[in-house]
Structure 1
């Protein structure tokens, strides 16, 4: 059960049930049915909806005509992400960052700040202007707004400032243009000139406020940096003096570094390091020279020809001369003996040359030995010097630890000082240029026509609101309507079989329509007669009562129709008016009510004068008779059963028009005496809760309820759009166009 149903204390309508189920769970066919139901609700309550819409339109028209004309002036400004960097050679415009959205939202908030409103109030001198407060309808008993000699007192200036700024803020509208840096500043007031003044003053004040914030920030930053620069300059000077004093005391001498010398050209080199590097290079060369001299000396001492001997010109000349003499001596030995004088002379020259060669080689050997010893001595001397410098270097390293600490402190202080100095220069340049990142694109013009009230727009809004409100009221009325509106509800909500539906007749009286065999009313009751014929094994029940929940639901018409149609089909039928409290059958058949059912129940046995023939319907009828003071007591006896038995001996069917069930005991008493009962329900009439209670009373007496007949059915008010014209027009006279 949904909330609306629980509040109303009954069952919800099908529309409410569909809404409770949720549109997502309704299949395609169900969705069409729900749409049809909504359309039918609109058709049913269309006058309510149109009335509410008309009322809203009238109220909107009255409000529009009585409203004070307001004028809106708009100025346009451009807000850049940051002011142009004129001194930056890499580019003038700043690249877009991920913080742009945050920046612009901040600017929009600043445009609606109370401080900006106070700037505009002071700029336009509104705080002491009585016409300004009168224009906005400010009425206050506060002393701040009490005029003294035509002027406001100075004591309440703060209160008036607050009120004036709130008035401006309530009438200002900040509208950023989508996907751009433009912002529209609109102000609305009853005076067009004043609206333009405020809109332009708002833009100008915002630019001035932005510049003031920048100047304040720059001035504060310069002061802070200047103090820090002084502090870091003192620290740098102190650390430099400390470094120089320590180097002098420890005799640490560093030479300026040279470009390309080593991997780190930013650090100075100590004198010991340079000397050690030079001695290492000299030692390397001396070692190479010693190894080479030693190799040549060993080669000479081993009897081999040294390189110097092989390349010595004098020695090579001697060897060449000895070879020539040895050749001549060999030729002489071919022809002469060794004692030959010429041969002996050559032999003597060969001996002298050999002595000269031996002397030269001995000299070369002694020279190589001297070179080797000199190279060895030089190498040893360099090694000693290198060892001494290594010790000096290690001592320097030990003493340079503290020196490096002082040097690092100097470097750190210098970097901090240089960075602050550069920042100080940048702030000075930026502050000197004074470029603003906000510019006015369009100044506000004096509006020539009011922006509100807009008659057409207000009428459209009133129409939409009226239609929506009317639809809501119609829906609430529909939810509150627990009557049976749809044929399907008879089965679903009342657990009764639907015997048929009787359309509403507006053109003619039902009793007249029953005389026309081709009328819609006759067709509908023929369908009900067919349904009743299938309810028992012997066809239509012999004794039948027709009742309803309350009066005027159509039970008497239904009783008359069933009796007339059965009589027309050849059955012998009698209609009894069982409603002895408010009889109506005698009006339908056009007779009096002087003698009838109440007479028989009171003890008269003769039916003469009680049973009347109704020729136009082809049936018999018994009126209710005089209205008794105790109808329930008469019905509670056995006389009704006796009457039914006597009539069924003569008639095929006895139909009783029973009184309504609610509040009376008559209908349950009659239903307990007959074979079956038919329950009549007025469409959009009785609430379903009352119908259920009445049906429960009938079933408590063991009455057999065959089903229900839905009367006065209007297809335009139904949920499902059940069309009861289908088939009823078959065989009727048609217009020439239809034919």
Structure 2
């Protein structure tokens, strides 16, 4: 018998691993595309309904819309007027800086004043048909007809309204990389559209000429008046500055031009004197330190450098050294009282007095120099301190002076700028020709430009598709049902052991008896997955449970017991649902003896079991329904039963009650080696499954994996292929 692979893509895992390392980004994008396709296929009717609704809405709106006509006038805007006297060229070359000019022209083309001028010229302000054409309400007094005409008092209000209507329906479209501009006007009247488009271009040319004629004379007169005003301001600020300087006796030296050509700021006399005296004080301090050093050296027993360099002292010392040598020679032969020796001694003494007098004279000169340097330093220090006080006082008095000086400088700069501009503007004699010309005048359109049926329908379909997609994504986010096995691990965090198709027109037992049925193939795949969950293969004690009743847990327990028995293993199926037993019905026996009897203390297991020969395994019914099944499961009788049964059987499979609302399933799950969790496809919310799993986790139950039951391929998401192998190679007719 060929084994069915529950995950067909796992068959190429070896080659797919290397390929996935190279094409990881493509795989991620492909996965996202498949996910989006699944959502689109699942909610396709919602999306198609939205598209159909928007299509009908777009069709109805398009048919109800008033036809409108578009007239276009093309003009050329040159950078400046052409000058035929310019021998270097007739036209000026364009540059990037011209963009500012062209943007200004586009703004002028869309100006309110131009719109009101066109409305006045075309006599639209007093035309009731014009306002009715654009649906202007007549509730305002300015639009109430008197003898078939508008009142003159409401003309300003109508002018503003007409200008607003024209601006709302006009469009200015510059042609890229050119000097051409298209003026378009849209209205329900073809003749009105052509009139307004042509009038718009003509009035723009006229206003451009008027601005050029008025610009020079107006600017010159304005600058002349401003020059007089700023000249008076400059004179007044200068008089104010001079008056304050005289009153405060602030005398500053005029600015001078430096080596770099820049003019230096004005400096006060006090600052110059302070700088000069500070330099002199620094030199006097250095001289005093030098004189003090010489004086101190001279006081050290005449051993100063000046005494050593003194020629007279050196001559006396040399003479004394000669006499001392002669005296020492005589002392070798004679006594000190010897006349010649006494004469030499007298000369030596006289020389010592001369040397001492000379050294005292040198030391006295050093002292005089030191005192003179000290006195000069003190005098300069006193003068510097006095100038510092005067400078600080000058700084305090110069605050207001600097304010007046800044005002003078500001007025002078403004005056110089206006004077330069006045010289540049010149006489308005070279106005030139107009730089705007009409290239193509507007013709009366023959066909309406809107509405466009095909475009509107296409937009409606796209809008419907977008709204349908948004609705599909919203419904997908709100839908908590597990639609296919690929979502099982992602939503509840359990590995998928297999998916089981929904059985139709037959009972689960009859389908299990047919060894070629899809149900048998599916549970063989589940058994194959269980073989890799423990070191010894399929766990010896198993419990099958679900979130709520009727999810297929009893069928799963029955099928696992059947497939294990057909694998030549000794299997016993225990009906652990003592509140709603079902296994005894499959065996055609009563449940007078069963699990509840053993849990109550009866050890005679042989009377509680029965054989299911057609399926090849032994079963134990739930027994009489106890008042409270959870109290029987809290004791240690269930582990005793499992251990005793494992002595005779290879596997013990327990059909456990559902988890939610009952304490039975967690108590059973804590006693077995593993738990198989069944999840009904398209029928249970993932949040309920997570809550039930948290109850099992609280008793440290080991949930091996999940089995998706009642799976229907037609309800699955797009791209799901887990049905592969369920009927492969089978002749359906046979």
TM-score normalized by the length of structure 1: 0.60
1:217 aligns with 2:220: no
Residue equivalent to 1:428: 429
- Taking a change above 3 Å as real, the CA distance of residues 69 and 705 of structure 1, as seen in their structure-2 partners, is same
Residue equivalent to 2:531: 533
How far apart are the structure 1 equivalents of 2:509 and 2:58?
50
Tell whether the 8 Å contact from 2:599 to 2:638 is kept in structure 1 after alignment.
Answer: no
Tell whether the 8 Å contact from 2:600 to 2:632 is kept in structure 1 after alignment.
Answer: no
Residue equivalent to 2:465: 467
3-state SS of 1:127 partner: coil
Tell whether the 8 Å contact from 2:213 to 2:431 is kept in structure 1 after alignment.
Answer: no
1:187 aligns with 2:185: yes
Tell whether the 8 Å contact from 2:41 to 2:718 is kept in structure 1 after alignment.
Answer: no
Tell whether the 8 Å contact from 2:41 to 2:717 is kept in structure 1 after alignment.
Answer: no
**Number of aligned pairs?**
518
1:564 aligns with 2:562: yes
How far is 1:122 from its partner? 1.0
Tell whether the 8 Å contact from 1:545 to 1:678 is kept in structure 2 after alignment.
Answer: yes
Tell whether the 8 Å contact from 1:503 to 1:714 is kept in structure 2 after alignment.
Answer: yes
Residue equivalent to 2:329: none
How far apart are the structure 1 equivalents of 2:553 and 2:75?
79
- Taking a change above 3 Å as real, the CA distance of residues 163 and 574 of structure 1, as seen in their structure-2 partners, is farther
Q: Deviations over 1:280-309 (max 9, x none)?
A: xxxxxxxxxxxxxxxxxxxxxxxxxxxxxx
How far is 1:575 from its partner? 3.6
How far is 1:115 from its partner? 0.9
How far apart are the structure 1 equivalents of 2:580 and 2:145?
80
Match for residue 133 of structure 2 among 135, 140, 145:
135
Tell whether the 8 Å contact from 1:647 to 1:654 is kept in structure 2 after alignment.
Answer: yes
How far apart are the structure 2 equivalents of 1:474 and 1:576?
45
Greater mean alpha carbon deviation, residues 536-545 or residues 724-733: 724-733
- Taking a change above 3 Å as real, the CA distance of residues 40 and 87 of structure 1, as seen in their structure-2 partners, is same
Counterparts of 1:176-255 in structure 2, within 5 Å, are: 176-220=174-218
How far is 1:172 from its partner? 1.4
How far apart are the structure 1 equivalents of 2:625 and 2:727?
43
How far is 1:457 from its partner? 0.8
How far apart are the structure 1 equivalents of 2:504 and 2:434?
81
Tell whether the 8 Å contact from 1:597 to 1:610 is kept in structure 2 after alignment.
Answer: yes
3-state SS of 1:428 partner: coil
Q: Deviations over 1:323-353 (max 9, x none)?
A: xxxxxxxxxxxxxxxxxxxxxxxxxxxxxxx
Q: Unaligned 5+ residue runs, structure 1?
A: 1-24, 229-415
How far apart are the structure 2 equivalents of 1:716 and 1:205?
70
Residue equivalent to 1:287: none
1:63 aligns with 2:88: no
How far apart are the structure 2 equivalents of 1:681 and 1:462?
42
How far is 1:686 from its partner? 4.5
Q: Unaligned 5+ residue runs, structure 2?
A: 1-22, 227-418
Q: Deviations over 1:490-545 (max 9, x none)?
A: 66665544433435668977655434433443223212212323444554334321
Residue equivalent to 1:107: 105
How far apart are the structure 2 equivalents of 1:28 and 1:489?
21
Residue equivalent to 1:124: 122
How far apart are the structure 2 equivalents of 1:684 and 1:718?
9
3-state SS of 2:84 partner: coil
- Taking a change above 3 Å as real, the CA distance of residues 171 and 612 of structure 1, as seen in their structure-2 partners, is farther
Q: Deviations over 1:625-648 (max 9, x none)?
A: 787664434544566557656766
How far apart are the structure 2 equivalents of 1:226 and 1:38?
74
How far is 1:619 from its partner? 4.2
TM-score normalized by the length of structure 2: 0.61
Counterparts of 1:249-268 in structure 2, within 5 Å, are: none
Residue equivalent to 2:42: 44
How far is 1:170 from its partner? 1.5
Q: CA RMSD in A?
A: 4.3
Residue equivalent to 1:76: 74
Tell whether the 8 Å contact from 1:601 to 1:635 is kept in structure 2 after alignment.
Answer: no
Tell whether the 8 Å contact from 1:571 to 1:652 is kept in structure 2 after alignment.
Answer: yes
Residue equivalent to 2:263: none
How far is 1:80 from its partner? 1.9
Instruction: Please identify the structure whose Cα radius of gyration is greater.
Output: 1
Counterparts of 1:579-728 in structure 2, within 5 Å, are: 579-581=577-579, 589=586, 600=597, 614=612, 616-621=614-619, 630-636=628-634, 652-683=650-681, 686-712=684-710, 723-725=721-723
3-state SS of 1:77 partner: strand
- Taking a change above 3 Å as real, the CA distance of residues 209 and 622 of structure 1, as seen in their structure-2 partners, is farther
How far apart are the structure 2 equivalents of 1:651 and 1:698?
26
3-state SS of 2:431 partner: helix
How far is 1:96 from its partner? 1.7
- Taking a change above 3 Å as real, the CA distance of residues 105 and 487 of structure 1, as seen in their structure-2 partners, is same
How far apart are the structure 2 equivalents of 1:202 and 1:513?
85
- Taking a change above 3 Å as real, the CA distance of residues 554 and 157 of structure 1, as seen in their structure-2 partners, is farther
How far apart are the structure 1 equivalents of 2:117 and 2:709?
76
How far apart are the structure 1 equivalents of 2:446 and 2:509?
72
Tell whether the 8 Å contact from 2:110 to 2:167 is kept in structure 1 after alignment.
Answer: yes
Match for residue 555 of structure 1 among 548, 553, 556:
553
3-state SS of 1:151 partner: coil
How far is 1:118 from its partner? 0.8
How far apart are the structure 2 equivalents of 1:668 and 1:542?
18
How far apart are the structure 1 equivalents of 2:42 and 2:672?
39
